[in-house]
Every structure is written in structure tokens, then in C-alpha cells.
Chain A
Amino acid sequence: DVKVTQSSRYLVKRTGEKVFLECVQDMDHENMFWYRQDPGLGLRLIYFSYDVKMKEKGDIPEGYSVSREKKERFSLILESASTNQTSMYLCASSQGQGASYNEQFFGPGTRLTVL
């Protein structure tokens, strides 16, 4: 059974802390994505990666960075957490490039609260 896992389902951090969200996929997918989901705003792309050590900014990259040292793992980093980063964070992966019809497989999500 294909799977995308995320390191935590719920996370509570304090303002100013450095936060790491980990995502691992076991499907040998080239593409990996980090989204945040907020009520009324839908899913918004933060960063994505199309290969190891390759990354591109999405729509809302400010305050975030990412790391992809291995194909199966894509990490989202909040350098200095702020209360406006309280959100649901979802990781996804998909196979290959150039195909808009490639299905994205999602992780269960991490609900992050920044106090």
C-alpha cells in the first residue's frame, strides 16, 4: 500500500522556535510538495521539489524553507515560528514531470499551533 507519512499529527510550538516538519514517501516519487490549508483559503503551495536537492518556491514561501537530501524525504522548516503560521500542513508526492494528470498522494497532515 503506497504511503506518505508525516512526522507528527499535532504539534504545539512557541513563537520564535525553529520547527521541523518531516514527510516521507515510499513510492519512489520524484515530486514532493508542501501545502498549508486554512479555512476559506483552501490548499496553498508553500514549496515543492522535483528531485533531490532541487526545490522551487510555491505561492507562499515567506517564513519557510525546505530540505530534500534524500529522494524519499522532504522537510519543511519554519525558521522562527510565528502565530500566523498556525495551520494544517499537508505533504504530497507525485511521480514524474511534465504530466499535469499525475495523481498526488497526500500525507495525513500536521496540525501546527504556534502560541
Chain B
Amino acid sequence: KNEVEQSPQNLTAQEGEFITINCSYSVGISALHWLQQHPGGGIVSLFMLSSGKKKHGRLIATINIQEKHSSLHITASHPRDSAVYICAAPRSGTSYGKLTFGQGTILTVHP
């Protein structure tokens, strides 16, 4: 089983700030997922990445496979970015896409 650690667990920011959320995992993987969960429960996939960097709007995800580390960055943060951000890694030696999830980072952006 892959152990996944996220930091920080809670993050408070002012609108416009640059935000970084970190994710470390214990076993080598082929790809890592970043998910977003808004209040009320629904979870959406933000990124799947296996190397380098991906960008979608103000969100940027990077991964360093050798160091087993990924970061999610939010540029020019906005109150609507307030959500729980979750990273997830595939379980080693498994098929069917089973994942191990980090505990999540609760982000609050104040206007």
C-alpha cells in the first residue's frame, strides 16, 4: 500500500496570494491525482500527472517522480478556491485503479 502525506492540513490565505500544497508518497508510481472537494461533498478530478508540470487556469501541478513528491499551486487565489484539496496515488501492485488518498488540505481564502 502506498502511504500518502499531505501538508499543510489547514491553510488560510488572503485573496490574491500564491498558494502551495504539498504531497509526498512512499512507493514509486506511474501517475498522481489531485482532486478538489467543495463544501457539500462533491469531488472532482483536477489533474492526473506522471511527470513534469500541468497547468489549468490558475492551477499548476508539478511532480518529481524521483523524490516522490508533488505540489499543487494556485496563483492569484480567490475565495471561490476555498475547498479541500486531496492528492491520491495508485496502490502498489494493484490494478483496477485503486488509490490511496492523502488526508486532504482545507484551504480557506478570505476576500
Which residues does A use to contact B, with CB under 8 Å?
Answer: 9, 31, 33, 40-45, 48, 50, 58, 88, 90, 92, 94, 96-109, 111
Could you tell me the distance between the alpha carbons of A96 and B30 in the complex, rounded to whole angstroms? 16
How many chain B residues sit at the interface, stated as a range, is 20 to 34
Which residues of chain A have C-beta atoms less than 8 A from B104's C-beta? 42
Report yes or no: A104 in contact with B41, Cβ–Cβ below 8 A: no
Contact with A101, one of B42, B43, B50, B101 (Cβ below 8 angstroms)? B50
Which residues of chain B have C-beta atoms less than 8 A from A48's C-beta? 96, 98
Which residues does B use to contact A, with CB under 8 Å?
Answer: 29-31, 33, 40-45, 48, 50, 86, 88, 90-91, 94-99, 101-104
Complex A-B, nearest 6 residue pairs according to Cβ-Cβ distance, in ascending order: A100-B90, A109-B41, A101-B31, A106-B43, A43-B101, A42-B103
Which residues of chain B have C-beta atoms less than 8 A from A43's C-beta? 86, 88, 101
Report yes or no: A99 in contact with B97, Cβ–Cβ below 8 A: yes
Report yes or no: A101 in contact with B86, Cβ–Cβ below 8 A: no
* Known contacts A42-B86, A90-B41, A90-B43; is-contact A102 B98 (Cβ 8 Å): no
13 A-B Cβ contacts within 8 A?
A9-B41, A42-B101, A44-B101, A97-B95, A98-B96, A100-B31, A103-B48, A104-B99, A105-B45, A108-B42, A109-B41, A109-B43, A111-B41
